[in-house]
Structure 1
Amino acid sequence: MARPLSPEKRNALLAAATQAVAEQGVLASTASIARRAGVAEGTLFTYFENKDVLFQELYLHLKHELAETVMPGYPSEADYRLRLEHVFQHYVRWGLGNTAGRLAISRLSASGQLRDETRTQGTEPFKAVSRMMEDAVRSGVLVNAPIAFLYSIIERIADTTIEYVERHPVDAERHRQLGFHAAWRAITP
């Protein structure tokens, strides 16, 4: 009978993969990921069938972590601006505390290796935000553009805000507010 898989080893592999992908993108080797996790490369394949499966699961793991930061307290009854500000500020907070995770999501997203079903699963926890943005576009509060395009604009401004705050932490709250103001202006008519 096979031994049960250890959640600690799986988490160590995901943490090591996060660091490796943040640094090297999808070119990170399974050997280097296993070494970072302190396990043999064969152990990695006990938890993840192959490198592709590892990257799909890593993406979903990181999106789940992000959702655990962004979605609690989401003000679903507030106006569009307040709801979007909640998402923006919580994303920035997550990104400031999780540089490797933010970079790994970005690199995996740009790699062309994520399956459509993985991307779809990654958006599931954020359905309320997607619905809000669709309603805001329909009502004319946001510019008439594809939601994915609007998400990209917001994410780029949030990433710029994170990078600026990391370099200039003294006035972080002001820069976070300026970042959201810039994002809001970029997506409203």
Structure 2
Amino acid sequence: MTKVYGTGPYDFKRHHVAEYPFEYPVEAKPGSALPSSITLLDIQRDRLTMIAADNWSKTLDASQPKKPFDPELVNEIYRTELSVGEGQRRAVPSQRVMILEVSQYLENYLWPNFDPETATFEHVMSMILIVNEKFRENVAAWTCFYDRKDVFKGFLERVLRLKSVGRGGY
């Protein structure tokens, strides 16, 4: 869907960032168990924060050596935290994406280890979801890509291929 803004000579179109269902946090009602927002304590105790500390986070424990890149970890995080099953109308859980974005999953793990020739479907989709989250949060989304401009073209080609070949083409 495209929206057109303005009526002058400098009209522009704003395209939606993604057509991927996204679940926003549900407001809690008195007496319900659903949180209305994610807290710092929630983030600190989360399983993804622990994984980040062991694998890519530079801020949590700089003295601890990080594990080498594991493409299977990317696949597992996508399958367990970000995936929407085929044919399902379930949405991507926003709090899971938020935690990965806060942990700098894209900047410290996905992008530095992205290879256009070998990256899995899960790797590409994880990057897309984090970039979308950055746009949703009004955070600079493209900054981390500047240091590897030559590889960025390969990333865009992989993204464009998603529409034409789908998951089966990976």
- TM-score normalised to structure 1 length: 0.28
Q: TM-score, normalised by structure 2?
A: 0.30
- Name which structure has the greater RCO, CA cutoff 8 Å, separation 6+: 1
Higher helix share: 1
